[in-house]
Amino acid sequence: MQLKFLAVVLFFFGSLGWAAQAYAYTQVMSLPEVIEQAQTHNPQVRGTRYRWESAQHQILQNYYPADPIFSYLNSDSPRFPLGGQEGLENFNFSQSFQFPGKGWLQGTQAKRSAEIARLTYAAALRDVKAQAETGYYQLQLDEALIDLFTENVANLEQVQKVTQIAYAANQVTQGDFINGQFALEADRETLRQQRVTVANDKTTLDVLLNRGPDEPLEVDRNLNLGTFETPLDAIIARAVTSRQEILETALTEKNQSTALTLANLEYAPDYTITIGYDHWIIQSFAPTPNNTKDWNFTLAWNVPLYFPAKNEDIRRARNDLNAAREDLDSIRVQTAGNVTSLYRQILRSRETALLYRNTLIPLAHQAFEVMLIAYQGGKVDFITLISAFRQESDSRAAYLQAVNALLAGKVAIEQAAGGDLQ
């Protein structure tokens, strides 16, 4: 009996835990929560962070010379190498060095490459934030369209009832009843398709958050027009100085300038220092019978004999530098143009949204109500009534599209500017 009671208790609390977990998964996620999860869990963002950390660990090696070389020579052994009774033992320690300054320049390049990797990571954070915002707003739009299509179905059901009553009283033709039924079924199909669209929107967000494609996800349904008061000149100035791609290209230009310096330094000789110690086991092999041990010193450096190849390296580095400068100018001009176009579109979308919200939607709704009453009184035909209905529906959909375009434009212009504008 006690075992049964314990099992019931465990099952009860387990069910509570499962229910709490299910509630946590289905509760409404705010936009900041979606952005935070995307920036934390998205694999692409995490990958760019690891590449940045990897680049940071590639700096120090450039300041150190190559590993030294220690060599041991066993010479003139009468039997076989290392067989004992050798005639000569030689010990050498060799260290290669680059011409002074090359290592420092290479380390500077590595620092800039690590900074480029950091900017790439920052750009990945920025882009995944933009994707999260765009996906969030698209889901808001499509769920609002579900509400609209649901209301459309309800209105058409009302219209169909009116048509059925009028047809039963021989006030309208059967064609009006058939057309009304067709419009109702078509909008029901549109509603079913829109539910699939919303499910796909949620899957897109789930994938961005690195979750399962069918995990429950709910978002705030409120659409906010907001304001956009940042001047265009301020946005352009922010973009050309702070956008990650521009900063990356500027660092690439500096690295190409350093590469040109290093190409010129190929004529500067690298050198190797070797210190050796000789020990003659057989005295007669030594330079003198009483001098069986000695030291030697070697200094070697490369001679730029194949200078035509080095000249080609210099020309290549100069062309790479010129290309990097052109790339920097190009991305600055493109960024300014992109920001300007987005800014105009944002203002236009906001004006459109306000026009539909404050003027066109109320007028269209009023027209539909008037036409519905007029149709019941036989003053207008069914085509006029359906046209008024479609006009109201289309105006509400156009308003939602304008709001979505406004929000997407704000996301895009912040992405082009390299980060938040407020």
Give the integer Cα–Cα distance in Å for 126 and 129: 5
Which structural domain, as residue segments, surrounds residue 343?
2-41+98-269+304-417
Report the domain count for the chain. Answer: 1
Residues 6+ apart with CB under 8 A from 192: none
Residue 93 lies in a domain: no
Alpha carbon 422 to chain centroid distance? 21
Inside any domain, residue 92: no
Domain-embedded: residue 290: no
- Long-range (24+ apart) CB contacts under 8 A made by 379-385 are 381/176, 382/163, 382/172, 382/175, 382/176, 382/179, 382/180, 385/159
CATH number at residue 131: 1.20.1600.10
Q: How far apart are CA 366 and CA 374, in angstroms?
A: 12
* Residue 288 is assigned to a structural domain of this protein: no
Establish if 13 belongs to a structural domain: yes
Per-residue pLDDT of the chain (422 residues; tens, 9 = 90+): 444 433 433 344 344 443 344 434 467 888 999 999 999 999 999 999 999 999 999 999 888 888 999 998 887 666 666 655 667 788 999 999 999 999 999 999 999 999 999 999 999 999 999 999 999 999 999 999 999 999 999 989 988 888 888 888 888 888 888 888 999 999 999 999 999 999 999 999 999 999 988 888 888 888 777 677 788 899 999 898 889 999 999 999 999 999 999 999 988 889 999 999 888 777 777 777 778 888 999 999 988 888 888 888 899 999 999 999 999 999 999 999 999 999 999 999 999 999 999 999 999 999 999 998 888 888 888 889 899 999 999 999 999 999 999 999 999 999 999 888 76
pLDDT in tens, 198-209: 999 999 999 999
pLDDT tens digits, residue range 217-258? 888 888 777 677 788 899 999 898 889 999 999 999 999 999
* Beta-sheet strands, E only, within 125-244: 218-219
278 in any annotated domain: no
Residue 289 lies in a domain: no
For residue 315, tell me if it sits in a domain: yes
